[in-house]
Structure 1
């Protein structure tokens, strides 16, 4: 199917053409605009399926947003369903069968794969028709929800990573807490100083890293490397810059500064238990960490280190909302999506409960205020939003899911531990060869 025909099928086009005057000029801060032409009289009842993948504690917020929309649009019924287990397996099964819900949650690194399979509606014509303020979205997220130059989703949240640290441990060691101006060598020096051993056994580790590939896109780029070339037609992972970067991190677990896989006691989250002095922390984890740590110790968060290229090693990814091409009610679903991603709704879903970073810049002040209002750690939570301006911008390719599988086989063991005799250059070479084979058949 051509790109133009993938945008909207004939039935959907005629529906939207007839609704051309509906809710034009929607502003970011005006949610729940009534759907339909006021001159039509009674409007046909519409039922939409809205499926998400979040914790049960968040569902009342989603229900509030739904209720706000249906109150303004009583002819639209929205069935909210939260799928907490095997969500992506179910979405992929429904996508193959052409039976996706009208609107559903998608991670930003899934947007391009779904769009390339023609599972989701090209939203660009609707964005332009209704003058949606895309300048209020994070630039890096816009890149990730764009396929062939067009938007295929609207943003929910955007996440990046910082370094959480145990203030009590720093005080006991007589070290100043980090101010975020460090580079990777600086982090390593601090982590080594905070690592403790007894009888040849590590009792406290200095830091811990996540092996997820999206996290490493930024780390690798900040050190002058890359996973893929600019047009994503070739894997370049076996470069000298990448070998140097991964050798550095392999050294951290080889010398016991970060825990290798399986080193932590079963069922124990190391930072919350006080056996990790520092850890990588996602911006989405503020409330979870507060609950897990309680008043056991004082803690805060600081910025990710600078890489050798003089920029922070900040990767970002997030959540978004896509509309299924099999939907019978694209116009109504689109209007709900605009409402769902408005500043007011984003404040309800993200800012007030302090969940990750809002997908809209206009919601950041409310997010920062809510995070600071309770005077609870991390008191430096605004650092996540500050780092977002330096987030590494790159779309995820359509073959990202398969690339992830190769990554966890070849590269993740260099980060989270395994056989210390494994050669970094050889592992990256195998990864590069296998990804290039993947690209050739994608």
Structure 2
């Protein structure tokens, strides 16, 4: 009896355990299906990534193609472009960032990368780069480094360049002046050429310049000076070589009269005067070639910048732009997919072939030269890039730039002050302002 009873109890226990295992298995299976379903739903969730940056009508058409290509590659991602002109963009962006309404992806200029990283507006991209095994060695490393801050990457570059000399071939022909094709020409040679191209009766000028701080940085570097001191924590150009360089270019307006005054350029912008065919030469970057090809009604070509007669160099800094991710985005992974594609070989090849801007990826640069087809461009770019450096800046760069332009450079270029007098006068203020902690 006891044996039968024990067998019965054992049978019941086995039955109960079996039932429990079945339900447990079903539960686990159900959980697995549910988990897989959630992952699948997350992966396929339709997301719209807003991308804001500055662009003209021609640029936007190309970027729209790139945005559509993102969706082809990632069907769950739609890209909404939000573009405005340069000035409007930088007027609106600070308020958008502060108010939490900035787009998921933000266009960032090299002069703004540190500022927006410091304010916590941009996400570090290092982990995303590592996860996606993105090839960052293909980027020009000077430009890539300009979008990093304290060892972290905050944006990926799409274009960059150095300053070149744009010259009006038709004006040179008109005044029977040889083209500036000598790689060893100097500032003094440029001045003599500008004199021959200047004709006040026709309102023709041999040269033009805007007096902006970023332009003067080029003059300073070429002349063997620097604009940063104390381990690059402060701006200072109270150096005889820097002072001489700035005064030399200001004298083109106020002493030699081979360049229009800044007042004249206020009424008729440098670009408008150039497009109208009244400027023989001026400094600009490859980003302006597409507009010159569209708007200039004359033949133009590109030459390398002239050498400083003091140093025999044309040292320049690399400048450009990229895309970063807004720190408050709800979709950081999807936003990075957009950033990585917007800066990919495929995207930059499309931009390069259409002459949009010089691509930040080295592997795509020949496509740009082949697509743009402007006399002298490739030679001038390669020669200038060989003598280029990263554009180092301080944290409080924008405010410092505005202060220098208004209080130091404008009086010099308007002919109201000499560089040797006004630069030392404001040196202390410039140093203190440039090293101010940004909050």
Report TM bin, short chain: 0.7 to 0.9
Which of 1 and 2 has greater Rg? 2
How far 1:115 moved relative to its partner?
A: 0.3
3-state secondary structure, aligned to 1:305: coil
Q: Which residue of 1 aligns with 2:207?
A: 207
1:212-227 correspondence to structure 2 within 5 Å: 212-227=212-227
How far 1:345 moved relative to its partner?
A: 0.6
* 2:94 is equivalent to residue 92 of structure 1: yes
Q: CA distance change for structure 1 residues 186 and 78 in 2, over 3 Å: closer, same or farther? A: same
How far 1:423 moved relative to its partner?
A: 2.4
Structure-2 separation of matches of 1:225 and 1:87: 33
Match of 2:152 among 144, 150, 155: 150
Q: Judge conservation of contact 1:161–1:384 (CA < 8 Å) in 2.
A: no
For CA contacts below 8 A with separation 6 or more, give which structure has more relative contact order. 1
Computed over aligned residues only, the root mean square deviation of the Cα atoms, in angstroms, reads 2.4
Q: CA distance change for structure 1 residues 215 and 137 in 2, over 3 Å: closer, same or farther? A: farther
1:268-347 correspondence to structure 2 within 5 Å: 269-294=272-297, 297-307=298-308, 308-347=310-349
- Structure with the bigger percentage of helix: 2
Q: Which residue of 2 aligns with 1:164?
A: 166
Q: Judge conservation of contact 1:106–1:320 (CA < 8 Å) in 2.
A: yes
* 2:427 is equivalent to residue 432 of structure 1: yes
Q: Judge conservation of contact 2:59–2:356 (CA < 8 Å) in 1.
A: no
Q: Which residue of 2 aligns with 1:244?
A: 244
Q: CA distance change for structure 1 residues 335 and 260 in 2, over 3 Å: closer, same or farther? A: same
Q: Which residue of 1 aligns with 2:30?
A: none
Match of 2:418 among 405, 420, 423: 423
Q: Judge conservation of contact 2:233–2:394 (CA < 8 Å) in 1.
A: no
- Give the TM-score taking structure 2 as reference length: 0.83
Q: CA distance change for structure 1 residues 225 and 79 in 2, over 3 Å: closer, same or farther? A: same
Q: What runs of 5+ residues in structure 1 fail to find an aligned partner? A: 1-36, 373-377
3-state secondary structure, aligned to 1:238: coil
Q: Which residue of 1 aligns with 2:232?
A: 232
User: What is the CA deviation profile of residues 363-408 of structure 1, one whole-angstrom value per residue up to 9, with x for unaligned ones?
Assistant: 1111111112xxxxx3222245312332231332221101111121
Q: Judge conservation of contact 1:70–1:77 (CA < 8 Å) in 2.
A: yes
Q: What runs of 5+ residues in structure 2 fail to find an aligned partner? A: 1-35
Q: Which residue of 2 aligns with 1:398?
A: 395
Q: CA distance change for structure 1 residues 38 and 115 in 2, over 3 Å: closer, same or farther? A: farther
* 2:354 is equivalent to residue 353 of structure 1: yes
How far 1:110 moved relative to its partner?
A: 0.6
Q: CA distance change for structure 1 residues 351 and 411 in 2, over 3 Å: closer, same or farther? A: same
- Give the TM-score taking structure 1 as reference length: 0.82
Structure-1 separation of matches of 2:152 and 2:175: 52
Structure-1 separation of matches of 2:386 and 2:38: 45
3-state secondary structure, aligned to 1:104: strand
